[in-house]
Structure 1
C-alpha cells in the first residue's frame, strides 16, 4: 500500500469526523431561532472591570447608563490603573446615583490578576443577578440588560451572550478576528444547546451572585491570569443551569485589534486557559480542531498529486457545503453575513495562526490580563 493510499484513507476518516461535527454539534445552533425571554422585574448589577481604559469608559459608559431597564446599578472596578481611569469613574459616579466605584490597589499576591479585581466588584454588588461586560465594549442596543436578564429563570442561573467586534472595511485581520469570534460563538452556543456548555465570553456574560459564591468564586483557578469568563463557566455550567441569549439587541460590540501582534497577544491569553477545561470538553474541542488540520492538509496534498481527485474533491465539496450552511445560518443570526463567502479561506488562515499561537504558548506563557 502506497503512502498516498494511506493518506487517502486517513482523509476519508477525518472527512467523516468533520461531517459528524457539523451535523450533530454545529448545525444545532445554525438552525435555531432566537426565543425572546419574558421581561423580568429583577434587579441587575452591571459590573465593568477596567484597567487603563479612560477613553473607552468615556465612550461606552453612557450606553450602559442609559439602558431601558427599571432597576439596575453599575459597579465600576478600577484595577490599579495608572491613566485617568479612576478620575473618569469618579466623574460618572458624581453624575449618576446608581454607580458604585471599587478602587482596587495592587497587592503582590494578586498582581496583574483580573479575577481578584472582579471578585471585589462582585462583593460590592447589592443585587443577586450580575451582568458583565468590558470597558472597551458597548451594548448594541439600549435593551441589552432587558434581553440578557430575560433569560434568567428559576433554574437558569447562567446566561451566555454574544460579544461582537466592529467591522473594518478592506481588512483581512478584521475578517480573521470576526470569523474566529463567529466560530467560537457557534461552538459554545451549540454545545450549550446540546447540554455541554463549556465557555462564555466576559464581554457579555450573566450569572447569579449565589452561583459565584457557592463555587468559591475563582479560587480553583485564581493562579491562572486569564479565565474569569471561560474557566469559570467551564467549571460551573451544566445542562440545567445554563441559558443562551443571541437576540440582536442582546449583543455587545468591541473595537477589534488593529495589528496582528496585538491580536496574537490577546489570543495567547485566551488560548492559554483551554488546557484547564474539563477532559470531556478538551477531547471534543481538540478532536474537531485536529481533524480540521488533517482535513485541509490531506486534501491539499492529495489534490496536488491528483490522487483519487474525484473522490477527494467530492468529499471536500460536501464538507464546504456543510460549512456554508452552518456558518451562513449562524452568521445571519450574529450579523456577520459578509464572512460566509470567505469562510473556507478564513478557516485555513485561522488554523495557521492558531498553530502559531499554540507553539508560542509552549515556549512562554502570557502573564497579565492587560
Structure 2
C-alpha cells in the first residue's frame, strides 16, 4: 500500500501542476490592446461546404455582413448533392465579395483538398477559416481576430468555437469537453507551446500555408486540416489567441452519442500523430486525470484516508473550479460551472468507453 500511496501522490502532484500552474496562465490572461491600428489588410474567409444547404441559408449572412474594410468569402462547394449550389447562386447575386468554387471528382477523401483549392483562390494575405454550420457572434469577428494578430505580431491566431446550448446531458457533455479542450490548447499556446487549433475559428497568413507546403506533411490523413496543420507550423513566437466575445463562432453540437463518437474518431485519428512533446504533455494530463480518480475510488472502497489525501483532493477541486470559473466568465458561460465537478468525475469513464476503442483508428471522411 505504501507504493500505491507514493504513486497516487505523484499523480496528484501532476494534476496540481496542470490546474495550479499550466492552466492558470489562461485564468489571468488579458488580451493585448492596440488602439492605433489605422489600416487593416485584406482577409479571405474560407468555408468548405458539403451538402450544407440549410446551414448556408442560416449562417452565411453572418459572415458576409462582417464589419471589416476589405474581405472576401470563398465557399468551396465540395461535391454537394443537395441544394447548396442554388443557395450559393442566390447569395452570389446579392454579395459581390462572395466567390463560389466548385470541387468535383476529388482525388482524396477528407476536407483538405477542398480547403487547399479555396486557399489557392484567395487573393488576400490573411486566411480565416470557419465552417458552414457556424454563425459569427457579431459583425466584428474578423476585426477582433486580426487585432490580436497585429498586436502580438503573430502569423497564427487561435479562436474559440463554442457550441449552442441545450438542456440535455449530451449537450452538457459536449459543452464540457469543448470547454476543457479549449482550456488545454489555449493555455499551452500562452505558454508558447501551441499544438492545435479548431477549424471553426482559425486565422493564419496565406504565406505560412504556402511556405509549409500546405497539408503535404499529413496529406495521407483525411482529417487534421486544422489541428495537424497548426501542430506542424505553430511555434513559440508565431501564435496568439483571441478570446474576445465578438470573435466567437457558434455551431450546432453533435445531436447523438453516435455522432459524437464519429467526431471523436476523427480527433483521435489525428492526435496520435502530434509532435512527440505534445503527445507526452497531453498524455500525462489524461493519464494523471484517470489515475487520480481511480485512486479516489480505491480510497472510498478501502476507507483508507489521510488528512493529506483529503487536502490534495480539496486543493485540486478548488484549482479546477478557479480555472473553469474564470474561463467560463470569459466566454459568457458562467452558469455552466455547476456541472463541472460531476462531468470532470465522469471523464475517466469517457476515456474507457471512447478513447480506448478509438486509439489507432483512422477516419476516412470529413462528412
TM-score, reference length from structure 2:
0.96
Partner of 2:83: 84
Cα separation, 2, equivalents of 1:106 and 1:96: 28
Partner of 1:288: 285
Q: Deviations over 1:128-172 (max 9, x none)?
A: 111110000011011101101112238411110000101112x11
Q: Deviations over 1:186-206 (max 9, x none)?
A: 111111111101100000000
Partner of 1:31: 28
SS at match of 1:151: helix
Cα separation, 2, equivalents of 1:227 and 1:115: 8
Indicate which of 164, 167, 180 corresponds to 2:165.
Answer: 167
Cα separation, 2, equivalents of 1:256 and 1:207: 25
SS at match of 2:149: coil
Q: Which stretches of structure 1, 4 residues or longer, exceed 4 Å deviation after superposition?
A: 37-40
1:49 correspondence with 2:48: yes
Partner of 1:177: 174
* Aligned ranges 1:219-298 → 2 under 5 Å: 219-298=216-295
Q: Aligned pair in 2 of structure 1 residues 369, 58: CA closer, same or farther (>3 Å)? A: same
Cα separation, 2, equivalents of 1:350 and 1:192: 23
Cα separation, 2, equivalents of 1:365 and 1:148: 32
Cα separation, 2, equivalents of 1:231 and 1:150: 25
Would you say the 8 A contact 1:302–1:309 is kept in 2?
no
Query: How far has the Cα of 1:362 moved from its partner?
Result: 4.1
Shifted more, 80-89 versus 125-134: the winner is 80-89
Would you say the 8 A contact 2:269–2:359 is kept in 1?
no
Would you say the 8 A contact 2:268–2:360 is kept in 1?
no
* Aligned ranges 1:148-159 → 2 under 5 Å: 148-153=145-150, 155-159=153-157
Cα separation, 2, equivalents of 1:284 and 1:229: 20
Q: Aligned pair in 2 of structure 1 residues 36, 350: CA closer, same or farther (>3 Å)? A: farther
Query: How far has the Cα of 1:222 moved from its partner?
Result: 0.9
Indicate which of 304, 309, 317 corresponds to 1:307.
Answer: 304
Shifted more, 195-204 versus 255-264: the winner is 255-264
Shifted more, 304-313 versus 244-253: the winner is 304-313
Would you say the 8 A contact 1:140–1:252 is kept in 2?
yes
Shifted more, 29-38 versus 269-278: the winner is 29-38
Q: Deviations over 1:310-351 (max 9, x none)?
A: 432221111101100111111111222122222121123233
Query: How far has the Cα of 1:34 moved from its partner?
Result: 2.9
SS at match of 2:162: strand
Unaligned runs of 5+ in 2: none
Unaligned runs of 5+ in 1: none
Partner of 1:344: 341
Would you say the 8 A contact 1:156–1:241 is kept in 2?
yes
SS at match of 2:3: helix
Cα separation, 2, equivalents of 1:152 and 1:318: 36
Cα separation, 1, equivalents of 2:259 and 2:34: 37
SS at match of 1:164: coil
Q: Deviations over 1:261-307 (max 9, x none)?
A: 11111111112111111101110110011000000011111122111
Partner of 1:192: 189
Cα separation, 2, equivalents of 1:314 and 1:258: 39
1:318 correspondence with 2:315: yes
Cα separation, 2, equivalents of 1:150 and 1:82: 38
Shifted more, 4-13 versus 226-235: the winner is 4-13
Shifted more, 227-236 versus 149-158: the winner is 149-158
TM-score, reference length from structure 1:
0.95
